[in-house]
Amino acid sequence: MNTPLAELLRRMPKAELHVHIEGTLEPELIFKLARRNGVTLPYANEAALRAAYAFTNLQSFLDLYYAGASVLLKEQDFYDMAWAYFERAQADGVVRAELFFDPQTHTVRGVPMGTVIEGLSRACADAQTKLGISADLILCFLRHLSEEDAFATLEAALPWRKHFIGVGLDSSEVGHPPEKFARVFARCRELGLHLVAHAGEEGPPAYVWSALDVLKVERIDHGVQSIHDPALMQRLADSRMPLTVCPLSNLKLCVFADLKQHNLRRMLDAAVCVTINSDDPAYFGGYLLDNYLQTFEALQLDAGHARTLAANSLTASFAPEADKRRWLKALDACVDAG
C-alpha cells in the first residue's frame, strides 16, 4: 500500500467498538501470568501455544480462548491485560475503546466479579489520564449458557453498575439465537444500559433480525451474513444501524476464504454503517491498524473510505456527543491534511 494512505490510517482518530479484552491476551502475557499465579498450561511455551492458533471455525477458536483466560485470577492480572491493549491501541490511533469482557468465564473459576470489573475499570481510568484514550466496558453474556445464568451474572455485576455502560452477547452463535436472551436484555434496557449483540457472524440473517427486533440492540457485532438478505440490508442501511465488522477475525475463523472476498466493501457500497474492529487481536494476527491496513490492501479502498470508516466508528460509539464532535473535527482535519 502507498505510504501516505497507510500513514493516514494510523494517524486518523478512530474508535474500536468490538474487542474482547480476553482476546488481547498475547501468549507472552499468558505465560507470565501462569508463572505468577502457579497455573499449569498444556503447552510447553509461547511458541507451542501460538502454533495451536489454526482455527477452522468460531468454536475451534473459543476452546483455546477460554483456556487462555484461565491464567487470570487477580485484579492486577485484569489490569495488566487491559493496559497492554491500551498501549497498542494508542500506537494505532485509537481515541475511543469500548471493551467487551466475559465475566462468566472468570466467575465460574471462582474469581469474584469485583476482581474482574475493578481491574479492568482501573485500566480504563488510566487509559484516559495517561494515554488520552476514552474507554468504557461492555459486559457480555455467554450465549451457550442459559438465560438464567445471564440473569445471575447481571445481578452479581450490579454493585459495579457505574463501571460498565452496556451489555453484549457473545460465544457460540449457531443454535443460540438472540431471542434466548429476550428477557435479560429487556431488563438491561430498563436499567439504562446500552445493548449490542453478536449476530450474523456464522449465524443466519434471521439472528440479525431478532437481535434488532427482539433484543432491540443499538449495534450489531459482525453482521456480515446480512448480505444474504436484501430486505435486511435495506433495513440496516435505512436505519444507519452500525455493524462492528472484524475482517481478520472473519479470515482466521474461515468466514471468508480470502480477505479479497470479504464483503465489507459491498456493505459500504450498500450504505450500511460499517466499522472496522479487531475482535480478538492476539489470536487473529492483528490489532486495529492491521485490520485497516490489510482490508484496505485487499479491497483496494482509498482515503474516502478511510474517512467514512473512521467517522462511522466515532459516530457509532457510546461516547458523549461533545467528544464525538471533537474527534470528527480532528478526523476531517487529518484527512484534509492529506
DSSP H or E stretch at residue 319: none
Q: What is the dihedral of CA 25, 27, 28, 32, to 10 degrees?
A: 80
Among the listed residues 210, 225, 249, 278, the single contact to ligand ADE using CB under 6 A: 249
Residue 171 binds which of ligand ADE, Zn ion, none (CB < 5-8 A, kind-dependent): ligand ADE
Q: How crowded is residue 73: how many other Cβ atoms within 10 Å of its Cβ?
A: 18
Nearer to ligand ADE, 13 or 178 (CB): 178
Among the listed residues 98, 201, 202, 218, the single catalytic one is 201
Whether 282 and 25 have beta carbons less than 8 Å apart is answered as yes
Q: With respect to Zn ion, which residue has the nearer C-beta, 100 or 292? A: 100
Q: How far is the CB of 142 from ligand ADE (least distance, A)?
A: 8
- Strands annotated E in the chain: 14-20, 94-101, 134-142, 166-170, 194-199, 219-222, 242-245, 273-276
- DSSP annotation of 110 reads T
Q: Kindly tell me which of 280 and 307 has the beta carbon lying closer to ligand ADE.
A: 280
Binding letters toward ligand ADE, positions 4-23, x by CB under 6 A = ----------------x--x
Q: Within 20-79, which residues bind ligand ADE (CB under 6 A)?
A: 20, 23, 58, 65
User: CA 148 to CA 57: how far, in whole Å?
Assistant: 27
Q: How far apart are CA 193 and CA 178, in angstroms?
A: 17
For the window 255-294, what string marks contact with Zn ion as x by the rule CB under 5 A?
------------------------x---------------
Q: Binding to ligand ADE (CB under 6 A): which residues in 219-248? A: none
Q: How far is the CB of 252 from ligand ADE (least distance, A)?
A: 9
313 binds ligand ADE (CB under 6 A): no
Distance CA 179, CA 211 (A): 7
**Would you please indicate which residues are annotated as catalytic (active-site) residues?**
201
Query: Footprint of Zn ion on this chain (CB under 5 A)?
Result: 279
